[in-house]
Structure 1
Amino acid sequence: MAEKTIRIGTRDSELALWQAHTVEKKLNDLGYKTKIVAVKSTGDVILDKPLYELGITGIFTKTLDVAMINGDVDIAVHSMKDVPTALPQGIVQAAVLERANTLDILVHKGNLDFLNESGTIATGSLRRQAQWLNKYPTHKVVDLRGNVNLRMKKLQEGNWNGAVFAAAGLERIDLKPENYINLDWMIPAPAQGAMLVVAMQNDAFTLDALSQLNDIETEIVTYIERQFLKTLEGGCTAPIGALARYNEQEDTIHFQGVLFSLDGKEKIEVDKKVPIQEWKKLGFYSAQEILNNGGTKLMTEIKNNLKK
């Protein structure tokens, strides 16, 4: 084996480092040499503005993209839900790791009475905000930014009733508290719970190494969800949820996709089960269905509202 050390680029948050070390261990177990290189992203530095106001999709991935294109790192490890559906020129999807928990959870302060009354929930995600308001129209939602550690700290110190997190992130770094409930009614972000490794298109050695880490089932379901997102033109900024699941017994894919208005009042959804052979266009056709059912108009309204 050629003696190239694969340099793994990562954000420097605890969760990002956990993800990078997970990939490092898998590569080391296959006999590859690796080195971790931590890089700070703009998304981690600018914490006083909501994500959609920063006006770029891929705010957490951009810095690492630049580091790869400049040749400072060979690969980057991301939470797949943070990665724009269109990768920069020269960068390709090299491996999707086996998916973890896809659920969103509500971390609360031990008292759930507010669910039946008025409450304040913190989350920086437009998707979570809209779905929360759809279910609890009398509640208030507030923006919450930062890596998971910082958001947990802000929740403890703040006077909100709770905050919404991806279960997978908290489980990975052992931060999931006792006070939580699974939000099984909330459709997750496309590719939530999956980790993506990207590399340079012309780097055959690294691409070959990473292909051995790819989980084909996760690759297929996340492809469907991201195709759905891309067809709706969501980027990171519209309240869009998507979940595709493979049923081994039936050899089918069950897909749920949803688009909300920002205030959660409008909801356009699609729910279908198809034979596995039809997976390649499932995300596209599902998104078309939503666009034809009023989604085109709703997406225009969302974009106009976010510009204000």
Structure 2
Amino acid sequence: MTRFRLGTRGSPLALTQAGMVRDALCAAHGWSDDAVEIVVIRTTGDRVQDRALAEIGGKALWTKELDRALHDSDIDCAVHSMKDVETIRPATLKIAAMLPRADVRDRLIGAETLADLRPGAVVGTSSPRRRAQMLRLRPDLEIVLIRGNVDTRLGRVASGEMDATLLAAAGLDRLGRDDGHAIPTDVMLPAPAQGAVGVEVLAGSAAGEIVAAIDHHDTSACVLTERALLARLGADCHSPVAALASLAGETLTLRAELIAEDGACDVAGSIEGTVDDDLGTALAEDLLARAPASVRRLFSA
């Protein structure tokens, strides 16, 4: 029997997410578990752990090996954490489905709130967004680079090497971990597409129809709106940007903020409409028009 092949990174979280996609496909198509093969692809982002992604190639470090495997027909689809997928993708590929979105919030590890951290506390993150947001709220913090999987990051806080770190609540939940304290989105707006798992295929392939059966419409609508905002901003891995779209009935609401790298200034806004409106582009243009120069220079639009 020919098995349907899911390509994924090999981290515990990536494998858990690939298992979620496998289970969804089996449920949708009445397949047995052995009808789907999970194929582990080691990416450059997994191999290089001592530098920020923005310094060594950006989000493509998580995707280029999976892209190659799709183009070479080594896999039928690739499973991604959508917040790690670069905004502009090859025209030969298509995001065919997204699973229902999980908790979008960040969790603070090491203290109950940012206000509880000691003066001058050392906080580890590799995210320009989290760095800028934390410095906006607590300019006294010392922000240091931290990479690695969930256990590595938790271990560096537990050892006392740093006072705190931030991790996505969705990833912790998927791993069955209850570490840390969730930060409300009105305190720290999440990264665009945070909490969403996407499945990518070759455009026009038979795999696209197979995968489309597990697409969660509301998640796709919200995440694609957030990604449209990124595209209009010309955002990259150096750009501190946060965004969150939500759908209530027919009303789609998008909130977003752009922040200076040092957190000294920011611009925020929101917009409402329907899924047929190009809210991402509209809000991006509004934010850029109102952004101070120190923020606007971080985007290539």
Tell whether the structures are fold-level matches, with TM greater than 0.5. yes
Task: Report the AA paired with residue 294 of structure 1.
Answer: A
Shift of 1:300: 2.5
Runs of 4+ in 1 over 4 A off after TM superposition: 109-114
CA contact (8 A) 2:242 2:257 kept: yes
Alignment match, 2:22? 24
Q: Using the alignment, how far apart are the partners of 2:166 and 2:289 within structure 1?
A: 31
Q: Using the alignment, how far apart are the partners of 1:295 and 1:48 within structure 2?
A: 32
The gaps in structure 2 that reach 5 residues or longer are none
Percentage identity across aligned positions? Answer: 33
CA contact (8 A) 1:77 1:198 kept: yes
Alignment match, 1:265? 264
Q: Using the alignment, how far apart are the partners of 1:275 and 1:130 within structure 2?
A: 29
1:111-190 mapped onto 2 (5 Å cutoff): 114-115=116-117, 117-177=119-179, 179-184=180-185, 185-190=187-192
Alignment match, 2:289? 292
CA contact (8 A) 2:94 2:201 kept: yes
**What is the total number of aligned residue pairs between the two structures?**
295
Shift of 1:155: 2.2
Segment drifting more, 36-45 vs 183-192? 183-192
Shift of 1:110: 7.2
Question: How does the TM-score come out when normalised to structure 2?
Answer: 0.91
Matched, 1:224 2:221: no
Alignment match, 2:214? 213
CA contact (8 A) 1:58 1:236 kept: no
Q: Using the alignment, how far apart are the partners of 1:42 and 1:144 within structure 2?
A: 17
1:77 is paired with a residue whose SS is strand
Cα 1:113/1:198, change in 2 over 3 Å = closer
The gaps in structure 1 that reach 5 residues or longer are 304-308
Shift of 1:112: 7.2
Q: Using the alignment, how far apart are the partners of 1:262 and 1:133 within structure 2?
A: 8
CA contact (8 A) 2:255 2:270 kept: yes
Question: How does the TM-score come out when normalised to structure 1?
Answer: 0.89
C-alpha RMSD of the superposition? 2.0
Segment drifting more, 140-149 vs 281-290? 140-149
1:63-78 mapped onto 2 (5 Å cutoff): 63-78=65-80
Cα 1:213/1:295, change in 2 over 3 Å = farther
CA contact (8 A) 2:7 2:39 kept: yes
CA contact (8 A) 1:114 1:161 kept: no
